Chains A and B, each alone.
Chain A
Amino acid sequence: GNSVTQMEGPVTLSEEAFLTINCTYTATGYPSLFWYVQYPGEGLQLLLKATKADDKGSNKGFEATYRKETTSFHLEKGSVQVSDSAVYFCALSESGGFKTIFGAGTRLFVKA
């Protein structure tokens, strides 16, 4: 079945450091790919998405590129802030289906 694997956390960085959170997927067809963010005590909210191969999603300084050849959708940010501390989820929506499947989540701590 379809699945999403993302790097385990927690990830601890100093402010202004470079961030990468790895995400790979297994899916049939051409899924849409997403990154969601969850702040403490809240539900998930969309951070960015990409719907076809080689698309780059971006938002709030975060970027991720849909790589079909490596089945990856790694999240990057050039300079993290304390306010980026949260849990990040990689997800896919099945092409032609109704389900959104999530990875296990990666907790990010950013120190001042």
Chain B
Amino acid sequence: NAGVTQTPKFQVLKTGQSMTLQCAQDMNHNSMYWYRQDPGMGLRLIYYSASEGTTDKGEVPNGYNVSRLNKREFSLRLESAAPSQTSVYFCASRARAPDTEAFFGQGTRLTVV
């Protein structure tokens, strides 16, 4: 079972470069999420998509854009990377009901130099 698949697993960018993190889920979930994980900060929500065709800002959206390409795929784009965006990024998906668990990808470790 693939679950949630993120690519790439590791990336090093120079300041000002752009990149897109890809995420796909095969569980037919309506909702998808992008989080960043920083030491001492836990997981902070960047953007989420409650259903296909909708996206909303989370706690820390500045410097990011997202696209819900279809029900399976939800991508995160950094248009002009900054060192403050060095982090581990996780994609997650969940069924619509709030009492259901979120399923996470393996994470993308991004370093911006």
Contacts and interface: CB of A to CB of B under 8 A. Distances in A.
Interface of A: 31-32, 34, 36, 41-46, 49, 51, 89, 93-105
Contacts of A89: 42-43
Interface stretch (B67-75, B79-87, B93-101): B93-101
Which 6 pairs between the two chains have the least Cβ-Cβ distance? A43-B104, A104-B42, A93-B98, A102-B43, A32-B99, A46-B101
A99 B31 CA distance: 9
B110 interface: no
B105 A43 contact: yes
Nearest to B96: A98
B34 interface: no
Interface residues of B, number: 27
A95 B42 contact: no
B102 interface: yes
A36 B35 CA distance: 14
A34 B41 contact: no
Contacts of B44: 102
B59 to A, nearest CB: 9
B98 A95 contact: yes
A101 B45 CA distance: 8
A100 B94 contact: yes
Nearest to B54: A98
A99 B47 CA distance: 10
Contacts of A96: 98
Contacts of B101: 34, 46, 49
Interface in B3-55: 4, 31, 33, 35, 40-45, 48, 50
